[in-house]
């Protein structure tokens, strides 16, 4: 309990310190704190992570839309947000942490690649779409990660690490071009990467 409280306090404090250096301080604070708290409570195996995840994806939908990342914006609102509600309900039932069979891991990798290519072809048809393949890859890997997390599979963290790398490339690119709130989501992506590495190590230590 003490670890949970201290970790939450530290995340909020750091989010405030970073947010005050940005242009839109309030939105920056909300997206920073909700994004990192989402991962923090997932690591702690608490369904509170889905409460913060719901707020994060609503904000992410707005920021992605104004940055021309329509794939992320659409799916954040109509897929990721509903999946947070699904996860919150599922985790109330005390689902045990599990590990996928090796063959299913191979199938997931192949599915991620083919689905990303398919979605990117659709996104390319939107005239103002930005970074179509990266947008598609981020979305497909994130959907996969959320579903695996809702079902409490360890592999969710590995899939999210792939998503982290893609998101870092996206928001580094957007930050360089001074896109709206691009630097804020870059910071969130870095925080996600560090927390996901910790989550992967933490869950691997659990006996399943």
Query: Would you give per-residue pLDDT tens digits along the chain (208 residues)?
Result: 788 889 999 999 989 998 898 778 898 899 989 999 999 999 999 999 999 999 999 999 998 898 888 888 998 999 999 999 999 999 988 888 899 998 899 999 999 999 999 999 998 888 888 888 998 999 999 999 999 999 999 999 999 999 999 989 988 888 887 776 677 778 888 888 998 999 999 888 875 5
If DSSP codes are grouped into helix, strand and coil, which group holds residue 29? helix
Domain containing 80 equals 2-204
pLDDT for the residue numbered 180: 67
83 alpha carbon, distance to own chain's centre: 12
**Cα–Cα distance for residue pair 63/58, rounded to 1 Å:** 9
The answer to whether 32 touches 191, Cβ cutoff 8 Å, is: yes
pLDDT for the residue numbered 4: 84
The answer to whether 33 touches 46, Cβ cutoff 8 Å, is: no
Domain count, the chain: 1
pLDDT for the residue numbered 171: 86
pLDDT for the residue numbered 21: 83
The model carries a pTM of 0.86
**Cα–Cα distance for residue pair 88/57, rounded to 1 Å:** 14
pLDDT for the residue numbered 208: 53
State both tokens at 26.
């309030």
Q: Which helix (H) or strand (E) holds 77?
A: none
pLDDT for the residue numbered 130: 83
């Amino acid at each position: 309990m003490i670890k949970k409280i201290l970790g939450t306090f530290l995340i909020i404090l750091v989010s405030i310190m970073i947010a005050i250096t940005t242009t839109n301080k309030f939105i920056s604070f909300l997206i920073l704190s909700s994004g990192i708290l989402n991962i923090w409570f997932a690591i702690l195996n608490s369904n509170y992570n889905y409460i913060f995840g719901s707020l994060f994806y609503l904000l992410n939908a707005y920021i992605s839309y104004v940055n021309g990342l329509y794939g992320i914006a659409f799916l954040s609102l109509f897929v990721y947000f509903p999946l947070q509600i699904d996860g919150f309900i599922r985790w109330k039932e005390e689902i045990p942490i599990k590990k996928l069979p090796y063959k299913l891991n191979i199938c997931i990798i192949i599915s991620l690649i083919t689905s990303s290519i398919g979605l990117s072809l659709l996104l390319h048809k939107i005239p103002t779409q930005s970074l179509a393949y990266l947008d598609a890859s981020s979305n497909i890997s994130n959907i996969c990660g959320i579903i695996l997390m809702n079902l409490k599979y360890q592999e969710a963290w590995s899939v999210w690490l792939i998503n982290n790398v893609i998101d870092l490339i996206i928001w580094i690119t957007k930050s360089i071009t001074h896109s709206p709130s691009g630097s804020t989501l870059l910071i969130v992506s870095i925080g996600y990467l560090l927390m996901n590495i910790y989550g992967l190590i933490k869950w691997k230590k659990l006996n399943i």
